Amino acid sequence: MRLPDTPSARFLRENFQWMIASLLMAFGVWIMAVLQSNPIQQRDYPRSVNINFVLADDMKMSDPSAQTVTVTIRAPRSVWDVLRTDQIRVTADFTDLEEGPQTVDLEAELEDRVRGQIVDIRPAEVTVTLSRVASLRVPIRTVVTQEPPSGYTYPLPTCNLTEVTASGPADRIGDITAMARLNLSEVRAPVSLTVNLFAANQAGRFVSEVTLDPAQVTCQVNVAQIEGISELSVVPDVSGFPPPGYIYEGYEFTPGIVTVSGDQRAIRALNGVVNTETIDITDATSNFERTVLVKLPEGVRLVPETQSITVTVKIGTVRGSRQYSDIPIQVEGLAPGLDADLLPNAATVLLVGPQPILEQINNQDLTVEVNLSQISEPGTYQVTAVASVSSTTISDEDIVAETTLTVQPQEVNVTVESIEGESSPGD
């Protein structure tokens, strides 16, 4: 078709090639501008990405060789700035594979609205062991892991279920039970217990990779006291007083209850309480433990008769404070050629700690020092005084752990002068 011979048509014919070239050049300039402002970048995503395992409904997997991967992504910088882990999908598809060890290549992609491309996955494949899932009904077995206190008994527990559904690899559920473990150690009356079930083999050992439905069972256990058996609360009998400077701080003991049988009249006369043998704390200066028996009237015996009470008696120290006055302030670290004048030249030390330690410390055990090792020129300085204590009768560790020292005044005025005829280190 021939264009009409008009001025516009002649212009198009004469400049058509230049117009096309101009458009292509403008498009190229636009592409370069975009790439400069939003360049394409290829690098590893900084976080691991979880693998999504896809299995057939009747299959279960175990022992995956990897559960996360590292991916390399090529995308504009604007995408990298906002990219999230949940926008990256890595899939291992085992849908059509049979039982046993299987290996598949991993597939990765970005969400549809994310501009970019995944160019590498490490590792590139994953291996798992596939097993077919089976289900069957299995019986519930109750096991009492801890018996009730001495003197109590119970018939067989009864539960609201007798069996549950077990699901898992076929080779694991062939000979299992759903075990309910009952702890009756603190039970003294009929009780209803709801406990978790777990799959166990005939030896009572846990079987993994098996799920139970329902996962809990409620069992009724009719715990009752044996006729002729009574419980008594234990009260340790502590006698005496610690030496001066120490204080009795109480005790801990176990067991707190004992069971007895025998003369019911004598048992009722105890009014539910029985004392231990006397524990003498005279001369005790620290915590100690003692194993003692309970004191029962004639005709009453323990059940079992070997019961004893372990008592831990707590002995603390009375804390106090003591002030030590006129402790000379000593100079340490003064450079040769210098002399120091202290004001004041003596300090008061306040010692806080256990009274027995305070009574063994006197003025001769205390030292107050000012360290002048950083002073090299004559002048007047404010220096912090530091107190310490050392005793021949008390270990340094005990003194440090148990006491605190305070010096008054804390700051000492120190005037440093050159000794006549000698030069200071700075001269």
Q: What CA–CA distance (Å, rounded) separates 254 from 384? A: 52
Cα-Cα end-to-end distance for the chain: 109
> How far are the Cα atoms of 21, 27, 156, 335 from residue 30, in angstroms, in the given order?
14, 5, 85, 77
The gap from C-alpha 157 to its chain's centroid, in whole angstroms, comes to: 37
Mean pLDDT over the full length of the chain = 87
Q: Cα–Cα distance between 25 and 15 in angstroms, integer?
A: 15
What are the chain's domains?
Answer: 42-123 (2.170.120.30), 140-165+176-225 (2.170.120.40), 229-317 (2.170.120.40), 319-418 (2.170.120.30)
User: What local confidence, expressed as pLDDT, does residue 196 receive?
Assistant: 96
SS (H, E, C) 114-160: CCCEEEEEECCEEEEEEEEEEEEEEEEEEEEEECCCCCEECCCCEEC
For residue 80, the surrounding DSSP H or E stretch is helix 77-82
How does pLDDT run across 381-406, given as a tens digit for each residue? 889 999 988 887 777 777 777 788 88
Can you read off the two tokens belonging to residue 42?
Answer: 């290829």
CB atoms near residue 232 (< 10 Å): 20
pLDDT over 90 percentage in the chain: 44
DSSP 4: P
List the one residue out of 60, 39, 30 whose CA is nearest residue 133. 60
Tell me the two tokens of residue 396. Answer: 């340094």
pLDDT-based confidence at residue 52 (cuts at 50, 70, 90) = very high
Task: Give per-residue pLDDT as tens, 190-242.
Answer: 999 999 999 999 888 999 889 999 999 999 999 998 888 888 999 999 999 99
What's the pLDDT score for residue 37?
64
Query: What one-character-per-residue DSSP string does 337-383 give?
Result: TEEEEEESSEEEEEEEEEHHHHTT--GGGEEEEEE-TT--SSEEEEE
pLDDT digits (tens, 9 = 90+) for 294-351: 999 999 999 888 889 999 999 988 888 889 889 999 999 988 888 888 888 898 899 8
